[in-house]
Chain A
């Protein structure tokens, strides 16, 4: 069964860092590009970042560029999101999602990140 499980969320002060993880199972992780998508409280979905299946390319939404870094370890079937210089407006549920034909076909259950002083 195909599964994505996020972890690493929590409460953090503005300006601090946090690293999210997404453990994949049930499919050949190294064959798929992967995304991070977030949903701020009371708002809609926002695309955050994508990484190619082999890690050769990364792209970011403007609002995280220079602060967030997406990476992956195909030997561990795990996706990461390193979030630095966090802002209050980064508060959201963060989902990892599998890339399929420029859509997101498999989603994790999400992990909550709260940035607050």
Chain B
């Protein structure tokens, strides 16, 4: 399984919106509505932000939203805040009961 493709970095100013893309294949993102997104601050365990493409766990701000089209999923963060600065990873369930992560995207809040 090859890693999903994410941009290495994105940036935005406070209050703005940004999107992070996550491109896979027909064996993972394209075949299953089972894409999830994780936020990881330095030295801290990852935190689930989105699951099943669009669902937010309890306690996650509605500023975070997910979508998918074909083999590409996206995470959108609106109303950027300083604390959103972190690494973000997408993950997809894949054929053969495997899971595959993206390479990660570093979000910088300017």
Count of A-B contacts with CB under 8 A? 67
State which size class the interface on B falls in.
20 to 34
The B-contacting residues of A in range 83-109, CB under 8 angstroms, are 95, 100-105, 107-109
Q: Please, how many residues of chain A have a CB less than 8 angstroms from a CB on the other chain?
A: 22
Contact check, B45 vs A102: say whether CB atoms are below 8 A apart.
no
Contact check, B91 vs A95: say whether CB atoms are below 8 A apart.
no
Contact check, A104 vs B3: say whether CB atoms are below 8 A apart.
no
Other-chain residue from B1, B36, B48, B101 in contact with A44 (beta carbon distance below 8 A):
B101
B-side interface residues toward A, CB under 8 Å?
Answer: 1, 3, 32, 34, 36, 38, 40, 45-48, 51-52, 55, 57, 87, 89, 91, 93, 96-104
A-side interface residues toward B, CB under 8 Å?
Answer: 35, 37, 44-47, 50, 57, 59, 61-62, 95, 100-105, 107-110
